[in-house]
Amino acid sequence: MKNVLVIGSTGQIGSELTAKLRSLYPGGNIVAGYIKGAEPKGELLEGGPCAEVDVRDGSGLAAIADKYSIDTVYNLAALLSAKAEVKPLLAWDIQVNGLINILEVAREKGFAVFTPSSIGSFGPETPRVNTPQDTIQRPRSMYGVTKVATELLSDYYFNKYGVDTRSVRFPGLISHVTLPGGGTTDYAVEIFYAAVKGEDFACPIPAGVFMDMMYMPDALKAAIDIMNADPSKLVHRNSFNIASMSLDPEMLRKVISARIPAFKMHYELDPVREKIAESWPDKMDDSCAREEWGWAPAFDLDSMADDMIAALRVKLG
Ligand code: SER
């Protein structure tokens, strides 16, 4: 990896991944791709090249790939799960038609492609605990439908055309730089903001509903390590289960209250998110990622909570 295009660089993952890649590969072009209305600002804008890239425009993408001699594309353009239920056809257009455009350009230009999958690619029939790497995937949400299609298309282009596609199934991501938006796991980020601001948190997910979660530094490490992995060791490609913690709202309440005793939370359930959350794994089995490319997370619940609260205290004054 040297010349990398991050599509969706102003989003929750993209903003931090772009900065991390720029620090790791100072001699390369790490291009922050954005769409109109989500332009990069500050460090993201000033720290390296930026380019408008809409995944629905393959020729625009090909021009940027040529201009910067792109060898790797991180395709992070997506509508998250709850938002995709409001605009299912737009989600399909961005996540599936957009990916086909990218893969077609990748065939021609020879760059590698990372398109994240998610816990959302599983459904109610999937084993919830220790969800295997290879198992039933019958999601009910449009987000999940697009993620399964994404995994299959990525493997198809690898097997048929040799496009170097690799990816991971991200858990809900907890981070403090850029807020997620429209996801089912967003509550696990918002709860920290509310706690640090001294607000009473209205939790949309019921107590006892567990989902895989991960702290952003581990997610970035996974996204970079999988693209640098020795391809001869990869039995799987799209996409690897990766896991670090399995949480429900009460576990988060407890870990936050231990650090911010005045923290208050009550439940105001969101039926759309509740139904989606109940259909997702509690805890994925990530042994294939560990064996095939050495995946290992660094953060657990306590170290994540310490770091999140400290960072948000600085950020929110
Ligand atoms: N964080 C995503 C969502 O909640 C799942 O990958 O939609």
Tell me if 30 sits within 8 A of 64, measured CB to CB. no
Tell me how far the alpha carbon of residue 136 is from its chain's centroid.
Answer: 21
Q: What are the pLDDT digits (tens) for 151-202?
A: 999 999 999 999 999 999 999 999 999 999 999 999 999 999 999 999 999 9
Tell which residue, 202, 203, 220, 204, has the closest CA to residue 12: 220
Which protein residue has the closest C-alpha to ligand 1 atom 2? 183
Structure-block tokens of residue 183: 């996801």
pLDDT at 199: 98
User: Which atom of ligand 1 has the smallest separation from the CA of 182?
Assistant: 7
CA dihedral 293, 299, 304, 310 (to 10 degrees): -100
Pocket residue to mutate for ligand 1, from 86, 119, 122, 167, most atoms within 8 A of Cβ: 119
- How far apart CA 160 and CA 152 sit, in angstroms, is 12
- Single out the catalytic residue among 74, 143, 157, 187: 143
pTM: 0.97
The pLDDT confidence band at residue 117, using thresholds 50, 70 and 90, is very high
Q: What are the pLDDT digits (tens) for 30-56?
A: 999 999 999 999 999 999 999 999 999
User: Which atom of ligand 1 has the smallest separation from the CA of 184?
Assistant: 4
Distances from the Cα of 240 to the Cα of 37, 92, 116, 247, 306, angstroms: 32, 22, 10, 20, 28
Tell me how far the alpha carbon of residue 42 is from its chain's centroid.
Answer: 22
For the domain covering 3-171+216-241, report its CATH number: 3.40.50.720
User: Which atom of ligand 1 has the smallest separation from the CA of 84?
Assistant: 7
pLDDT at 250: 98
The pLDDT confidence band at residue 147, using thresholds 50, 70 and 90, is very high
Span 221-231, mean pLDDT? 98
Amino acid symbol at 176: H
Which protein residue has the closest C-alpha to ligand 1 atom 3? 183
Pocket lined around ligand 1, Cβ cut-off 6 Å: 80-81, 118-120, 143, 170, 172, 183-185
Q: Is 162 left (phi over 0), alpha (psi -120 to 50) or beta?
A: left
Q: What are the pLDDT digits (tens) for 233-270?
A: 999 999 999 999 999 999 999 999 999 999 999 999 99
Q: What share of the chain is helix, strand, coil (3-state, %, to 5)?
A: 45, 15, 40
Tell me if 241 sits within 8 A of 297, measured CB to CB. no
How many angstroms is it from 178 CA to the middle of ligand 1? 14
How many angstroms is it from 271 CA to the middle of ligand 1? 16
* Residue found under tokens 């599983």: 122
Which protein residue has the closest C-alpha to ligand 1 atom 1? 172
Structure-block tokens of residue 265: 């939370």
Question: Can you say whether the dihedral through the CA atoms of 289, 291, 292, 298 is positive or negative?
Answer: positive
**Torsion angles phi and psi, residue 57, rounded to 5:** -120, 90
pLDDT at 139: 98
Cis bond before residue 246 (omega within 30° of 0): no
- How far apart CA 299 and CA 304 sit, in angstroms, is 6
User: Which atom of ligand 1 has the smallest separation from the CA of 80?
Assistant: 7
- Is residue 267 annotated as a catalytic residue, yes or no? no
How many angstroms is it from 27 CA to the middle of ligand 1? 33
